[in-house]
């Protein structure tokens, strides 16, 4: 037993002596033979009989040293006593050897006693009450049992290892007003009371923790037993370093053995050491436009920064700002992380704005306010009143505030040429009115209007105001050709309408656009041709005049700017037409036509060329006419660029004479 300290052996020997003397006094016999003294386990509690045999938690993981007293009728010379150390769970019928039997030749040496024996820790891996004894078999073959000793292995924490109920605050002032510096100074701390828990036993103690909300408890601020009233005072120092606001108080039960139970539920209280929030100005909604009404366009700009709150006096990190918008039951919460920063709140449309507006059909004054929560106290702000208008005529929009309403009927576009098609404008539709038909939406309210748009919201091409008729009946917008002829072309030009109030106020929504192929009737626009040598007429307009024609052949320089719609490899077909009037309405001379195959560089950077002869390209315009230059690509669909420029083939003396300037620009003759 070299691993057992002298101090431990002395303690065990004293315990053994007390046990042997007691047994002798009691004169206990078994079948007329004096019983052997019981084995003696360690005395862990200094003789306190309330805890006799109870093994401390840390010793449950160690081998146990047991002492055996020398028995009176021990072996003589040439005799051998055999010692067998045994153990068993209480009330079990079977004793089990704790170690191998020990042969002890006589006479026994008194210095070997009390004899230390080892009970391996594996024998009490589970909890319960256990018995110990030993047997001595003497040389004549008789076996005598010792009295028994018991020990207890308890591995179950108090309250049956369940989290206990939260502590309470006996003083109602703590619950109602919170913990202030004045309260701590006056009372020296804060009392808590521990509720009754299951299987409470003598020797139970507890650990108490105090911490802020959002943090985890670390070291206990108190360890010990509670008084007869089940109360403990948390000292004032325990609150030092905690952040003002909500604090949590919890505890863990510890039994005499040292089994540590789980954390209790938290008791909460407010801690108010610092100055309280003061002067809470009303919130603002800066996203509102110049009409001072919050509408769906404002919401689309972004609800993530809808409401702003200025920093308030005595703010603390950890304060919670709770916004109330109108009658909304879903409140917006924000935890303050920087007391100097403006607070910006995200107020959701679906969960807050729309429910607060409800079924209103016009401007609804809506109150907006907030409170600052610190601990269990709230501090209200001033209230702002915001005018809100989310009403939109027409059917319910499942995607609101998205301005496209899938429940609005879509339009159907048809030309009025010889062979009209749905949502296609053919070449024979060019120059003629276009019919856009739509089934009227439901419900139709008073003073509503429909505005028809072509290609973009900048191009309104028809209005129906006020909307009248029966929902579901067709209504046709007739769009003059001049309203769309200069608008963008392509195979997917969007055509749609909006529904709103006839006075132009409030919100509008549009139908899903119908994509129309207008490429055959309205070629896609290419860059407008330019004339680098154009002069300026007396009215400030550009003009091809006598100073514009270069060299002895009186060439005309033309520049085609870059065209991102072209990639290179296309053939461009050019048409040059002279007119005798400035507006290009009286053709003169012969239409001049030529083609150019362009490169990728020319498409990306533009290119120049010259046209001639002067007699065919300029002379027909006369004294004060004009020229159109048009070019069309061979792509599908075709793309077109065009320009009209004033032109004059004469000056005061007659037909222009050759310009003294000579030389050609790069590009050569295009004709």
DSSP of 35-61 = PBPPPB---TTTT-GGGTTBPPGGGGG
Give domain status of residue 280, yes or no: no
The number of domains in the chain is 5
135 and 164 housed in the same domain: no
Inter-residue contact 298 to 304 (CB < 8 Å): no
pTM: 0.62
268 and 329 housed in the same domain: no
Which of 153, 171, 206 is the C-terminal boundary of a domain? 153
Of the pLDDT bands very low, low, confident and very high (cuts 50, 70, 90), residue 661 is low
And the tokens for 547? 């100073």
Q: What span, in angstroms and rounded, lies between the C-alpha atoms of 113 and 99?
A: 18
| Residues paired with residue 579 on neighbouring β-strands, in sequence order | 587, 626
Share of the chain above pLDDT 70, in %: 93
Give domain status of residue 397, yes or no: no
pLDDT in tens, 147-175: 999 999 999 999 989 999 999 999 999 99
Which of 216, 242, 272 is the C-terminal boundary of a domain? 272
Domain enclosing residue 451, as ranges: 412-522
Listed range (15-19, 272-276, 297-301, 557-561) with the worst mean pLDDT: 15-19
Rounded to 5 degrees, φ, ψ at 171 are: -85, 115
And the tokens for 174? 């703590």
Of the pLDDT bands very low, low, confident and very high (cuts 50, 70, 90), residue 124 is confident
Share of the chain above pLDDT 90, in %: 77
pLDDT at residue 489, as a whole number: 84
In this predicted structure, the answer to whether residue 34 has a pLDDT above a threshold of 70 is: no
Q: What span, in angstroms and rounded, lies between the C-alpha atoms of 219 and 208?
A: 9
CATH of the domain at 193: 2.60.40.10
12 and 149 housed in the same domain: yes
In this predicted structure, the answer to whether residue 20 has a pLDDT above a threshold of 50 is: no
In this predicted structure, the answer to whether residue 507 has a pLDDT above a threshold of 50 is: yes
pLDDT (mean) for 207-218 = 87
Of the pLDDT bands very low, low, confident and very high (cuts 50, 70, 90), residue 12 is very low
Q: What span, in angstroms and rounded, lies between the C-alpha atoms of 101 and 257?
A: 32
Please report, for residues 14, 133, 513, the alpha-carbon distance to residue 36 in angstroms, rounded to integers and kept in the order given. Answer: 17, 9, 105
197 and 318 housed in the same domain: no
Q: What is the DSSP letter of 349?
A: I
CATH of the domain at 434: 2.60.40
DSSP of 231-254 = EEEEEGGGGTTPPSEEEEEEEEEE
In this predicted structure, the answer to whether residue 7 has a pLDDT above a threshold of 90 is: no
Work out the mean pLDDT of the chain and round it to a whole number.
Answer: 90
pLDDT at residue 125, as a whole number: 84
In this predicted structure, the answer to whether residue 358 has a pLDDT above a threshold of 70 is: yes
Give domain status of residue 259, yes or no: yes
pLDDT at residue 91, as a whole number: 86
In this predicted structure, the answer to whether residue 288 has a pLDDT above a threshold of 90 is: no
Listed range (328-342, 456-470, 602-616) with the worst mean pLDDT: 328-342
165 and 263 housed in the same domain: yes
pLDDT at residue 25, as a whole number: 42
259 and 335 housed in the same domain: no
And the tokens for 526? 């290419």
And the tokens for 553? 């052949």
DSSP of 620-655 = GGTTSEEEEEEEEESSSS-EEEEEEEEE-SEETTEE
Give domain status of residue 225, yes or no: yes
And the tokens for 47? 């003789």
And the tokens for 44? 């862990």
pLDDT (mean) for 394-403 = 95
Inter-residue contact 229 to 240 (CB < 8 Å): no
223 and 178 housed in the same domain: yes
Give domain status of residue 543, yes or no: yes
In this predicted structure, the answer to whether residue 5 has a pLDDT above a threshold of 60 is: no
Please report, for residues 180, 182, 190, 193, 653, the alpha-carbon distance to residue 186 in angstroms, rounded to integers and kept in the order given. Answer: 10, 6, 10, 19, 114
459 and 482 housed in the same domain: yes
Q: What span, in angstroms and rounded, lies between the C-alpha atoms of 167 and 268?
A: 9
pLDDT in tens, 475-497: 999 999 999 998 888 889 999 99
Inter-residue contact 403 to 300 (CB < 8 Å): yes
In this predicted structure, the answer to whether residue 391 has a pLDDT above a threshold of 90 is: yes
423 and 533 housed in the same domain: no
How many helices, marked H, and strands, marked E, lie in the chain?
Answer: 7, 44
Q: What span, in angstroms and rounded, lies between the C-alpha atoms of 557 and 20?
A: 132
And the tokens for 49? 């009989």
pLDDT (mean) for 35-62 = 92
pLDDT (mean) for 87-110 = 93
Q: What span, in angstroms and rounded, lies between the C-alpha atoms of 345 and 336?
A: 11
């Amino acid at each position: 037993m070299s691993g057992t300290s002298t101090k431990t052996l002395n303690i065990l020997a004293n315990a053994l002596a007390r046990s042997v003397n007691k047994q002798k006094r009691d004169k206990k016999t078994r079948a007329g033979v004096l019983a052997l003294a019981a084995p003696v386990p360690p005395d862990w509690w200094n003789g306190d009989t309330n805890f006799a045999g109870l093994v401390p938690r840390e010793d449950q993981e160690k081998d146990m040293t047991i002492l055996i007293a020398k028995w009176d009728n021990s072996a003589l010379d040439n005799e051998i006593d055999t010692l067998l150390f045994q153990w068993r769970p209480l009330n079990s019928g079977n004793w089990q050897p704790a170690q191998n039997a020990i042969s002890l030749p006589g006479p026994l040496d008194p210095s070997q006693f009390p004899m230390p024996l080892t009970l391996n820790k594996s024998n009490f891996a589970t909890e319960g009450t256990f018995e110990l004894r030993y047997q001595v078999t003497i040389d004549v073959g008789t076996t005598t049992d010792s009295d028994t000793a018991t020990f207890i292995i308890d591995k179950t924490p108090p309250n049956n290892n369940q989290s206990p109920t939260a502590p309470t605050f006996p003083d109602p002032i703590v619950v109602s007003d919170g913990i202030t510096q004045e309260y701590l100074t006056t009372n020296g701390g804060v009392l808590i009371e521990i509720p009754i828990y299951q299987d409470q036993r003598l020797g139970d103690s507890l650990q108490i923790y105090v911490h802020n909300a959002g943090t985890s408890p670390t070291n206990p601020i108190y360890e010990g037993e509670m008084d007869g009233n089940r109360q403990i005072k948390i000292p004032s120092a325990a609150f030092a370093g905690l952040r003002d606001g909500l604090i949590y108080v919890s505890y863990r039960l510890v039994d005499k053995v040292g089994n540590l139970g789980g954390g209790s539920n938290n008791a909460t209280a407010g801690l108010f050491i610092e100055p309280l929030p003061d002067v809470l100005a009303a919130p603002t909604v800066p996203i509102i436009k110049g009409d001072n009404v919050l509408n769906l366009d404002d919401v689309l700009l972004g609800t993530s920064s809808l409401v702003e709150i200025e920093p308030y006096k005595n703010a603390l990190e950890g304060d919670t700002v709770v916004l109330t918008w109108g009658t909304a039951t879903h409140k917006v919460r924000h935890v303050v992380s920087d007391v100097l920063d403006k607070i910006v709140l995200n107020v959701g449309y679906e969960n807050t704005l729309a429910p607060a507006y409800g079924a209103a059909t016009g401007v609804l004054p809506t109150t907006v306010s907030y409170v600052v929560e610190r601990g269990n106290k709230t501090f209200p702000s001033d209230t702002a009143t915001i005018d809100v208008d989310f009403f939109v005529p027409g059917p319910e929009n499942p995607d609101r505030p998205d301005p496209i309403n899938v429940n609005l009927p879509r339009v159907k576009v048809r030309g009025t040429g010889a062979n009209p098609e749905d949502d296609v404008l053919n070449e024979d539709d060019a120059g003629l009115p276009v019919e856009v038909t739509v089934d009227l939406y439901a419900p139709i309210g008073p003073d509503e209007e429909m505005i028809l748009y072509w290609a973009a919201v900048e191009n309104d091409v028809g209005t129906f105001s006020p909307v009248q008729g029966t929902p579901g009946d067709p209504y046709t917008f007739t769009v003059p050709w001049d309203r769309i002829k200069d608008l963008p072309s392509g195979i997917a030009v969007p055509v749609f309408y909006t529904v709103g109030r006839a006075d132009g106020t409030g919100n509008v929504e549009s139908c899903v656009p119908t994509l129309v192929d207008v490429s055959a009737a309205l070629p896609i626009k290419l860059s407008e041709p330019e004339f680098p040598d154009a002069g300026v007429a007396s009215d400030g307009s550009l003009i091809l005049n006598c100073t514009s024609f270069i060299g002895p052949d009186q060439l005309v320089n033309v520049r085609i700017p870059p065209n991102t719609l072209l990639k290179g490899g296309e053939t461009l077909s050019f048409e040059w037409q002279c007119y005798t009037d400035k507006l290009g309405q009286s053709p003169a001379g012969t239409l001049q036509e030529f083609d150019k195959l362009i490169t990728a560089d020319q498409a990306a950077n533009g290119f120049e060329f010259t046209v001639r002869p002067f007699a065919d390209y300029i002379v027909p315009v006369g004294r004060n006419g004009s020229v159109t230059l048009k070019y069309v690509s061979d792509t599908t669909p075709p793309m077109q660029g065009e320009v009209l420029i004033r032109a004059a083939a004469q000056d005061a003396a007659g037909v222009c004479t050759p310009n003294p300037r000579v030389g050609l620009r790069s590009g050569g003759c295009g004709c």
